Amino acid sequence: MRLGVFVSDLRGNEKMLDRLKAEKLGVFLVENGIYHAVIKEDGMISPLLQKEGADYYVLTEDLQTRGFTSSEVDSKVSVVTYLDVVDLMMNDYEKLVWL
């Protein structure tokens, strides 16, 4: 299964994301989910970014809305636009989950 997972919150999604397994997994960080791409807590990157084999995307509009720029984004995460999200959803992932 090629699964795209949308994370829109800073807290509360870690357990479910950890349980979701797929041959190809993409994590879309949107709304308050963008904090996972830019914030360190006690010096550690978000546990959400440590899922093996997953691809990560962060929505640039939501990043900038919250006062961050792409230069602050963790190197594991690609910065994308709405148009990029559409292309990824349509071409790379067959099932989509909004946590």
Closest to another protein by CB, 3 vs 38, is 3
Helix (H, G, I), strand (E, B) or coil at 87: helix
Closest to another protein by CB, 2 vs 76, is 2
In the block, tokens 């230069």 appear at 71
Tokens of 45: 């990157």
Spatial distance between the Cα atoms of 32 and 48, rounded to a whole number of angstroms? 13
Bridge partners (DSSP) of residue 44 are 41
Closest to another protein by CB, 8 vs 42, is 8
- Could you say whether residue 41 binds another protein (CB under 8 A)? no
- Could you say whether residue 39 binds another protein (CB under 8 A)? no
- Could you say whether residue 1 binds another protein (CB under 8 A)? yes
Tokens of 34: 């963008």
Residue 9 contacts residue 31 (beta carbons within 8 Å):
yes
- Exactly one of 10, 45, 49, 89 binds another protein (CB under 8 A); which one? 89
Which positions lie near another protein, rule CB under 8 A?
1, 3, 6, 8, 15-16, 19-22, 30-31, 61-62, 81-83, 85-87, 89-90, 93-99
